[in-house]
């Protein structure tokens, strides 16, 4: 029996690896089309600490041309940034024609960590929720394709991953003061997440939720979802669709029906 289980685990791992490679081949085709057509693609990744944003982004860009894709992970705002229009420093990072930009956290910092940790005023937070949909509608009107993912994990999984991060000398660079209190503020982050999703989900810029407790399935299904949302030359029409139990469009019922971690 143990050998049978080991064989099954090996087969599952091999199947996922092959599926990931197939998705990455499609991503290369997508990038070639973006370059040739001059499209501008901005992809936002939000989620709790240790939700798997880094690993998911890494798998997406792994085989892409670094000259035509960028990963944006901004540090905390400078004194000058704090005096500027809130969206100003993000505007400078938006894609130009022929480019894909992936935001590892984005302007939604204001609705998450800044809100929970009180790094911004209540007035600034309220203003953000009002203006973010307007800002995003403008980007889309000006030709930018905007895709927003929220990676959602359970409390137990977050505890496990944060511990692994602390214990692994190769991952300790990811640690931050915010990580240290992430679990303590679990309910606060849940409330902030729910309000952010409800207030900034729109027809033109919807949120896509990813249930991210399984890292490899998260990466595979995000890639599959991304490929279904975009047209490009040579697209594999027979490719697998994302699992709807893992990736789905946000709806308010997800807050109460268990689709989002409480």
- Tens digit of each residue's pLDDT (9 = 90 or more) over 36-51: 999 999 999 999 999 9
- C-alpha span between 137 and 202 (Å, rounded): 9
Helix (H, G, I), strand (E, B) or coil at 43: strand
Residue 85 CA, chain-centre distance (Å), reads 24
**Residues 6+ positions from 240 with CB-CB distance below 8 Å:** 19, 224
All domains in the chain, ordered by first residue = 30-256 (3.40.50.300)
Look at the block and give the residue holding tokens 């030709």. Answer: 143
Tokens of 2: 């143990």
Does the CA dihedral 171-172-178-181 come out positive or negative? positive
CB 205 within 8 A of CB 43: no
- Return the DSSP state at 94: S
Q: Which residues neighbour 159 within 8 Å (Cβ) at sequence distance 6 or greater?
A: 183
* pLDDT surpasses 50 at 20: yes
How far, in Å, CA of 220 to CA of 210, rounded? 11
CB 160 within 8 A of CB 51: no
Confidence at residue 1, expressed as pLDDT on a 0 to 100 scale: 45
Helix (H), strand (E) at residue 96: none
Match 């057509």 to its residue by tokens. Answer: 37
Residue 2 reports pLDDT greater than 60: no
pTM over cut 0.75? yes
Residue with tokens 């901004």: 74
Helical H segments across the chain, by residue range: 2-37, 53-61, 79-83, 88-91, 113-116, 122-141, 155-167, 177-180, 186-200, 215-229, 253-256
Q: What is the mean pLDDT of residues 61-81?
A: 96
3-state secondary structure (DSSP) of residue 157: helix
pLDDT in tens, 197-249: 999 999 999 999 999 999 999 999 999 999 999 999 999 999 899 999 999 99
**pLDDT digits over 108-136, tens only?**
999 999 999 999 999 999 999 999 999 99
Nearest CA to 114 out of 218, 228, 56, 196 is that of 196
Tell me, what's the pLDDT at 170? 86
Q: Specify the higher pLDDT residue, 10 or 74.
A: 74
The span from the CA of 211 to the CA of 214, in Å, is 8
């Amino acid at each position: 029996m143990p050998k049978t289980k080991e064989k099954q685990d090996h087969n599952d791992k091999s199947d996922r690896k092959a599926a990931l490679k197939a998705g990455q081949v499609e991503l290369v085709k997508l990038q070639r089309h973006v370059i040739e057509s001059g499209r501008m693609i901005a992809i936002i990744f939000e989620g709790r600490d240790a939700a798997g944003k880094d690993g998911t982004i890494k798998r997406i860009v792994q085989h892409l041309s670094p000259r035509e894709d960028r990963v944006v992970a901004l540090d905390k705002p400078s004194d000058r940034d704090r005096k500027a229009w809130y969206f100003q420093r993000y505007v400078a990072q938006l894609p130009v024609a022929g480019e894909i930009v992936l935001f590892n956290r984005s302007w939604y910092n204001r609705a998450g960590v800044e809100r929970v940790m009180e790094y911004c005023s209540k007035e600034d937070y309220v203003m953000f929720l009002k203006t973010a949909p307007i800002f995003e509608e403008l980007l889309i009107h000006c030709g930018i394709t905007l895709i927003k993912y929220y990676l959602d994990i359970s409390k137990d999984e977050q505890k496990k991953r944060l511990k692994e991060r602390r214990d692994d000398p190769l991952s300790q660079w990811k640690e931050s003061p915010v990580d240290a209190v992430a679990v303590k503020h679990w309910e606060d982050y849940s409330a902030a997440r729910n309000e952010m999703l409800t207030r900034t989900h729109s027809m033109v810029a919807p949120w896509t939720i990813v249930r991210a407790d399984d890292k490899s399935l998260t990466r595979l299904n995000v890639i599959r979802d991304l490929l279904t949302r975009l047209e490009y030359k040579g697209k594999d029409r027979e490719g697998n669709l994302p699992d709807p139990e893992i990736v789905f469009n946000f709806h308010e019922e997800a807050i109460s029906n268990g689709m989002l971690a409480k």
